[in-house]
Copies of this chain bind each other. A is one copy, B any other.
Amino acid sequence: MISKIRAGVYGGSGYAGLDLVEILSRHPQVDLAFATSNTYAGDEAPGTGLRYVPADAALLEGVDVILLALPHRTSAKTAKIGIEAGVKVVDLSADLRIDTPEAYERSYDSPHPHPELLPTPYGLPEINREKIVGADVVATPGCYPTTTLLGIYPLLATGALCADAPVIVDAKSGVTGAGRKPSLTTHFAEVFGNLIPYKTGRAHRHIGEMEQEAHKISERIGPIIFCPHLLPVDRGLMSSIYVTLNESLESDQLQDLYAEMYGGEALVDVLPLGEQATLRHAVKTNRCVISITPVLPRHAHITSVTDNLRKGAASQAVQNMNLMFGLDETTGLI
């Protein structure tokens, strides 16, 4: 019998961190070594019997892997510490997702704290599994890129997109996507009964990450027009994707294409034709759920949903961790 993986969570009291702690504390192959929280140090990490420790009090000795649910910049620095201590690292921040320091600086307006860490394998297992298996460091993608890229991956892989037309992504996210730090944006009375577009067009930081990964799979893709909205719910993310196909495929062939490409994936569900993916299909699950509507021969509407804190963050990080340690990728997740 194999001994359990000893895992530490940094940033364990944010929303993604709380889900990480919950998933890892029930994971049959993991011992939770610590969870850090500078704000809640001394309080119990819910359901674990452990108390949060400040980040700089976490001991890496005897730890096999650390999972980082930290703000960007802090995350890269902590990853560096982990790497130097010989510990595997699953980063949930944006710091290791961008391949070059230059592109990072363009999206995040400051120099990369540790450019020598780039590039890192991009931890979207359904697309990039072979680079994750056995890796020492993996960058887990954000909720918007995960949901969107899974929604168009079969089209990218088959080169079916019209290169001259944009891919339009009208996205809607629950409020936990904005983090746990209080702000007027996340004040209950501002969000209740409301729907708020923000960073529309091409202003959102995740655009760079989406296009970087999409282009690795296919150059035949137009620009991504990405318009996120803040939805008055706590969890869940929907990417409503409008694509234009080239001459290689008609929209009524997409259902079969998606069913085949995702047929072997435990954590991606393709709904039967005519059934629409709703937020509730994914909330509190570890899966991405996709529905396809052929609209016109060259035009399709794809709905891709995840729980932004699960397949969009914590459970995908654990899926990556499983692959890095040679476990079945769904251990602790289904």
Mark A residues whose CB is within 8 Å of B.
15, 165-166, 168, 170, 172, 174-176, 180, 182-184, 186-198, 200-202, 223, 225, 227, 229, 231-236, 238, 240, 242, 276-280, 283-284, 291, 293-296, 299, 301, 303
A332 to B225 CA separation, bound complex (whole angstroms): 41
- Please tell me if the beta carbons of A194 and B279 are within 8 angstroms of each other in the complex: yes
- Please tell me if the beta carbons of B277 and A197 are within 8 angstroms of each other in the complex: yes
**Distance between A37 CB and nearest chain B CB, rounded to angstroms:** 13
A196 to B188 CA separation, bound complex (whole angstroms): 14
- Please tell me if the beta carbons of B182 and A183 are within 8 angstroms of each other in the complex: yes
Known: A194-B279, A200-B303, A202-B295. 14 other contacts (CB 8 A): A170-B242, A182-B182, A186-B189, A187-B187, A188-B191, A188-B232, A189-B234, A189-B235, A193-B236, A195-B231, A197-B277, A200-B293, A200-B295, A225-B242
Each complex incorporates copies of this chain amounting to: 4
A165, A225, A235 interface centre (most CB from chain B within 10 Å): A225
**Distance between A202 CB and nearest chain B CB, rounded to angstroms:** 6
A158 to B232 CA separation, bound complex (whole angstroms): 36
- Please tell me if the beta carbons of A200 and B301 are within 8 angstroms of each other in the complex: yes
- Please tell me if the beta carbons of B184 and A180 are within 8 angstroms of each other in the complex: yes
A195, A277, A280, A296 interface centre (most CB from chain B within 10 Å): A195
Contact among B182, B202, B236, B294 with A186 in the assembled complex (CB-CB below 8 Å): B182
- Please tell me if the beta carbons of B189 and A176 are within 8 angstroms of each other in the complex: yes
**Distance between A334 CB and nearest chain B CB, rounded to angstroms:** 11
- Please tell me if the beta carbons of B172 and A180 are within 8 angstroms of each other in the complex: no
Given A186-B187, A188-B186, A232-B188, residue A278 in contact with residue B195 (CB < 8 A): yes
**Distance between A295 CB and nearest chain B CB, rounded to angstroms:** 4
A284 to B79 CA separation, bound complex (whole angstroms): 35
- Please tell me if the beta carbons of B189 and A276 are within 8 angstroms of each other in the complex: no
- Please tell me if the beta carbons of A240 and B170 are within 8 angstroms of each other in the complex: yes
Given A186-B182, A189-B234, A295-B225, residue A301 in contact with residue B195 (CB < 8 A): no
- Please tell me if the beta carbons of A166 and B296 are within 8 angstroms of each other in the complex: yes
CB-CB under 8 A from A172, the residues of chain B are 172, 195
- Of all chain B residues, the one with the shortest Cβ separation from A201 is B295
Shortest 8 CB-CB distances between A and B: which pairs?
A201-B295, A182-B182, A170-B170, A175-B188, A195-B279, A197-B276, A189-B234, A188-B191
Given A187-B180, A225-B242, residue A200 in contact with residue B166 (CB < 8 A): no
